[in-house]
Chains A and B, each alone.
Chain A
């Protein structure tokens, strides 16, 4: 039997990142590095109170400072036309930038200083003096849980994922022989991509705007800005050629982007605005602090009879942020009785944002720890417990999975990490001063597909240019799309260029929710097929047998077009351009999902295994080994897929062991905003990692057989760490991060 799954070594020789060289040599220019003539620099002035009203802004000193061109606040803003409209979306009510004197969170942008250099703008910003009528602010979720509300979204969509839900009976866990009933807390986490959020705004005309901007969706940003400034959609152009990570923080327009556009309007010059690292923890969203209550009841054979899951997450005072924390509890296991309740707590904080594995990473932490806790009560292996409750079809939608290779994931991972070394009794393996434990947890995320188009420009020399508005925030989209086109057409990857991150390119969704390969990849396939049909049509004029060629059998081999059905019919590519003297062929392709989501339930799956060592005296945790096994359908680009999974493990270790946005509730101010205080894993925290892929195709989602990958690589990692720490020490930490103080 041939091995289908992929391990680290199998991916070593796969195609490398097509833009790897320009990225590591610095040739790739990120937004903050772009220089334009007449460029000016904006630096934000932030509120220093958590709630209140600005009573005065003294800008005199700043305005007189050398190089300062303008100081803009609610007192002199050119204004955002959308704010004057009546029919604004009440759920997604963005912070109205410089609209009035109200302060809703500590760190809110309340003015901007524009100067001829960054340093002069920074100094100018330090000279702006603000006074407030200060009010009491509320930022602690636990203390203010009584303020929890049902989101408007849930009221608008009673069947949605944030609405109260009951399958079977509520609180059925209470009747079961074995029960777990616990509270789990995951603190706010900042995205902290390596690249700071940055924008350069240029008004090309009174009603025409060009933005160089860090965004996960050039067209969505363009549309949002066009709406805010009441401009014709085609008059806003957004360029986002390279994005140095985002993890969800660039899925929407944030206040600093509006500020830059307002400032450029005021000074009539391009304005560059780059956030400070500290501002990245409260100006561009974060994974919200979430308190969850999970109760599970099972019979002694491990069959789960009832699951109750509640979630309380932070949101801002002006906007309701919701995420799907509770999906996994509804669909992951075959449980007859499930009830879920989702609430949000409006506080004096900025609005959260989706962060890698949004909702599910949070939900899986609570659910997968609770399942682990149940396994100890039952004295049952946690993998076996999961297999006992394996859902053969989606118990929520009650339709078959499009594909589900979870059982293979458990098997492959258990073998790889050496699960047989694990002891059922916690605190039983000692390695010198270190206690050793093993943990497992499962992850899942919906496998989505949207509509997209791709434009192909094919030249007589056999080179191909593909264009799409899609962003590449790091997964290697240009690489995976090149791989798909190369496979479809037979062209060597080095003869294909894939351009992206430009709102004027063909339609694409935002890069978020792991849908890019399924969506844009399908459009690449459609475009390549269209190109082959066009080439065959032209070839038929030379050799009539091409009339019967079907795209699947057509490929480009070297300088020739070949039909595998009729090997003798090959023609020179260049000859196909001669007839009408074309210098290039321009072909478009569109692709959109069909009705398949009504018939099948689409999810990607992952299982994560962790070996943790915990120091007996100092409580220090060292992850010694990590294995992730991924069911994301057919792997389209193995090397970049492996990198994605690697990043997911690292992010999950950060979430489990160190990441924590702490707010001083007296002032609402973030006290771990700097990189000195907000810890993300360093190289020394990262263990031996094995990234494995089941690599079995999903027959229904798209022509490549793939499913989404970007989210499931992190979902489940943090609970696997927490479960390993428990197995090592017998200490159950239900409030992340698991820092040494919690283990001594």
Chain B
């Protein structure tokens, strides 16, 4: 790891000022990802701006939405009574990520900015357009079992590793940020990027902006939500495929539904066409299968991840069955 400066800030303005002053500065909160990347030499910021002491620690249920501060720990949010009552999907997704120790450290804002776990991104002897733009993609012709089947580009096939982000995407969360030009609200679908020709950029957050919180608009999904994560072991592994389902049922009719997938793209993958198809339909395995087929439109596999073309719809069908309680 390189030598770096450490600066603890106590106000958002101070944080923004540090970022504006120093292009090689990075924010650190839980540090569960950044410190790792620094040890591997993947990221070498010359200054760490510690935002742990900013006052974004609250979870507030307001009229029409649930507000979660950026520095709330994942462990705290996943066990919070309002989160469990109003947005249980988020809790389920967060609890299926990482380990208790990591969730105790990791923050909501940090999790939004979690970087890919692509092995070629981590191995500084390998080419990687995300780590070193223009150096090539090691994964494309290499070991790509964990990689994208949607939205990849010729420069990057990495996936977003977060579980939390998948749930937030299904729940139409809005990311609150602030920066030199003032406050902004970014819908989560616009927050994470597809790689395109600039895979070095994971999000649309400006370098000088900071995340202050996450807002989840109220919904009527709480009774029928499911997060299913398929992975190589029972815990502490990244998703091969994960599916978030939030459903509003009227009898056995699907009144409203949100669907998102993880482990398949550079960003959490919202399945709007499948949602449209299911809306107003009967919750039945037949319809779930049709929706899953629709969801896979445009999917493309590489040498080692072709299984995802089948595992993704299968997982989606299972998630829909679990969320709706429909067995056959």
Is A682's CB within 8 Å of the partner chain B? Answer: yes
Q: A617-B314, A617-B317, A744-B314 are in contact. Are A682 and B233 (CB under 8 A)?
A: yes
| A580: B residues at CB distance < 8 A | none
Does A671 contact B232, Cβ atoms closer than 8 Å? Answer: no
| A737: B residues at CB distance < 8 A | 232
Interface string of A659-670 (1 = CB under 8 A from B): 000101011010
Q: A679-B233, A682-B233, A744-B310 are in contact. Are A618 and B142 (CB under 8 A)?
A: no
Interface string of B283-318 (1 = CB under 8 A from A): 000000000000000000000000110110011011
Is A620's CB within 8 Å of the partner chain B? Answer: yes
Does A622 contact B234, Cβ atoms closer than 8 Å? Answer: yes
Does A666 contact B142, Cβ atoms closer than 8 Å? Answer: yes
Q: A618-B314, A666-B142 are in contact. Are A657 and B1 (CB under 8 A)?
A: no
Contact residue among B117, B228, B308, B314 (Cβ-Cβ distance under 8 Å from A676): B117
| B122: A residues at CB distance < 8 A | 674
Contact residues of A between 159 and 214, Cβ < 8 Å to B: none
| A740: B residues at CB distance < 8 A | 230, 232, 240, 307, 311
User: CA–CA, A122 to B307, complex, Å?
Assistant: 39
Interface residues of A: mostly helix, strand, loop or mixed?
Answer: loop
Contact residue among A620, A671, A677, A681 (Cβ-Cβ distance under 8 Å from B142): A671
Does A662 contact B311, Cβ atoms closer than 8 Å? Answer: no
In addition to A671-B123, A740-B230, 15 A-B residue pairs with Cβ atoms within 8 Å of each other are A122-B1, A126-B41, A618-B241, A618-B314, A618-B315, A619-B314, A622-B234, A664-B142, A671-B119, A677-B119, A679-B233, A740-B311, A741-B307, A744-B307, A744-B310
User: CA–CA, A619 to B307, complex, Å?
Assistant: 11
Using CB atoms, name the residue of chain A closest to B123.
Answer: A669
User: CA–CA, A122 to B125, complex, Å?
Assistant: 16
| B142: A residues at CB distance < 8 A | 664, 666, 671
Could you write out 16 A-B pairs with CB less than 8 Å apart?
A48-B125, A617-B315, A617-B317, A617-B318, A618-B315, A619-B230, A620-B230, A657-B232, A667-B125, A671-B119, A682-B235, A684-B234, A740-B230, A740-B232, A741-B145, A741-B240
Using CB atoms, name the residue of chain A closest to B237.
Answer: A679
Using CB atoms, name the residue of chain A closest to B308.
Answer: A741
Is A86's CB within 8 Å of the partner chain B? Answer: no
Q: A617-B317, A617-B318 are in contact. Are A676 and B233 (CB under 8 A)?
A: no
Is B3's CB within 8 Å of the partner chain A? Answer: yes
Is B277's CB within 8 Å of the partner chain A? Answer: no
| B125: A residues at CB distance < 8 A | 48, 667, 669
| B235: A residues at CB distance < 8 A | 682-685
Contact residues of B between 184 and 242, Cβ < 8 Å to A: 228, 230, 232-238, 240-241
| A739: B residues at CB distance < 8 A | 232
Interface residues of B: mostly helix, strand, loop or mixed?
Answer: loop
B327 CB to nearest A CB, Å: 8
Is B126's CB within 8 Å of the partner chain A? Answer: yes
Does A744 contact B311, Cβ atoms closer than 8 Å? Answer: yes
Is A658's CB within 8 Å of the partner chain B? Answer: yes
Instruction: Count A-side interface residues using an 8 Å CB cutoff.
Output: 36
Does B318 contact A618, Cβ atoms closer than 8 Å? Answer: yes
Does A657 contact B318, Cβ atoms closer than 8 Å? Answer: no
| B62: A residues at CB distance < 8 A | none
Is B2's CB within 8 Å of the partner chain A? Answer: yes
B163 CB to nearest A CB, Å: 15
User: CA–CA, A123 to B40, complex, Å?
Assistant: 11
Is B141's CB within 8 Å of the partner chain A? Answer: yes
User: CA–CA, A669 to B120, complex, Å?
Assistant: 10
Using CB atoms, name the residue of chain A closest to B125.
Answer: A48
Contact residues of A between 653 and 710, Cβ < 8 Å to B: 657-658, 662, 664, 666-667, 669, 671-672, 674, 676-677, 679, 681-685
User: CA–CA, A744 to B314, complex, Å?
Assistant: 9
Does B234 contact A682, Cβ atoms closer than 8 Å? Answer: yes
Is A433's CB within 8 Å of the partner chain B? Answer: yes
User: CA–CA, A617 to B315, complex, Å?
Assistant: 7
Does A672 contact B119, Cβ atoms closer than 8 Å? Answer: yes
| B56: A residues at CB distance < 8 A | none
What are the nearest 4 A-B pairs in CB distance? Answer: A741-B307, A684-B234, A48-B125, A617-B314
Interface string of B130-167 (1 = CB under 8 A from A): 00000000100111010000000000000000000000
Interface string of B103-138 (1 = CB under 8 A from A): 000000000000001011011011000000000001
